[in-house]
Every structure is written in structure tokens, then in C-alpha cells.
Amino acid sequence: MAVLMVILAVLGGALLSVQAAINGQLGSKVGVFRCAFLTFSVGALITGLLIFFFESAHPLTLMDVPKWQLIGALFGVPYIVIMVLAVQRIGTAVATVAVIFGQLTMSLLIDNYGWLGNTAIPFSTHRLAAIVCLAAALWFIYRSNQDVGKAVD
């Protein structure tokens, strides 16, 4: 089951890159906020249908959970807006790897300290190596964009 979850997470990441590329183009034509509005409107409609047809009953409602847990919904807005802006200026690859670098760094902090009610998973040399490798990947991809820009000029 864990392998399936990793595969699904990789698929989710791939879809986010496709979304970023499409939204970057759309945002340049109709505006960043209109693009973000479309993303969340369509997402809300589809999620509503999924809830209606497939979600099983839960003992708590959104009104019963600790209120700090509801702020997670707000973090999607800056992500979409930032990606629409960034993809237009630095390309899909650099923007995506930069996002993944931010995700990895923050997720390792969350894991290490057990923040936000998560189980603590200690920092290790393997995790440090992952951050270093991803930072190197970001640098190399960013530099390749710069090299292409110089060749075009």
C-alpha cells in the first residue's frame, strides 16, 4: 500500500506541473487572479460532487474541528497565484523545483519537530542529503534557463 501511495503522490506532483504550465499560459492571457479564481471554482465544484457521491460520514464536521486546522485551506491561494506568476517568468521547471524545495524543507521541519499534530520523525543525514541534492537540482535547472537566455540574446 505504501508503494501505491508513493506512486499516487508522484502522479499528483506530475499533475501539479501540468497545472502550473497551463495556468501560467492562462494567467498571462486573462490575469493571475482570474486564473486562480477559475482553478478554485472548478476545484470546489468537482470536490463538492466527490463529497456528495463518495464521501462517507464522519463523526466531526468542519465546524467541530480545532479552528487552526481550517487555515490549511488558505495556503492554496498563495500557491496558485505564486505559480501563475513564477511560471511566466522563470519557467515551469524552475518554479516547480523551487516549490518542491520549499515543500521538502518545510516538511522535514514539520516531521522533525512533530508540528501541527504530526508524528515526529527525526532529521537524519539521508534527509540532509535530499535537501542538498534538491538544492543542487534547483541551481542547475535555474542556471540552464540563464544559459538559454544568454544564447537567445
CB-CB neighbours of 60 under 10 Å: 7
Is-above-0.85 flag for pTM? Answer: no
Q: Domain extents for the chain? A: 16-57+83-90, 91-153
pLDDT tens per residue, range 29-77: 999 999 999 999 999 999 999 999 999 999 999 999 999 999 988 999 9
Q: What is the pLDDT of residue 151?
A: 55
- What's the rounded mean pLDDT across residues 111-130? 96
Q: Backbone dihedral region of 66: left (phi > 0), alpha (psi from -120 to 50 degrees) or beta?
A: beta
> How does residue 150 score in pLDDT terms, banded at 50, 70 and 90?
low
- Looking at the predicted structure, is the pLDDT value of residue 131 above 50? yes
Question: Could you give the 3-state DSSP secondary structure of residue 31?
Answer: coil
Of 92, 113, 105, the C-alpha closest to 134 is: 105
What angle separates helix 2-30 from helix 92-113, to the nearest 10 degrees?
130
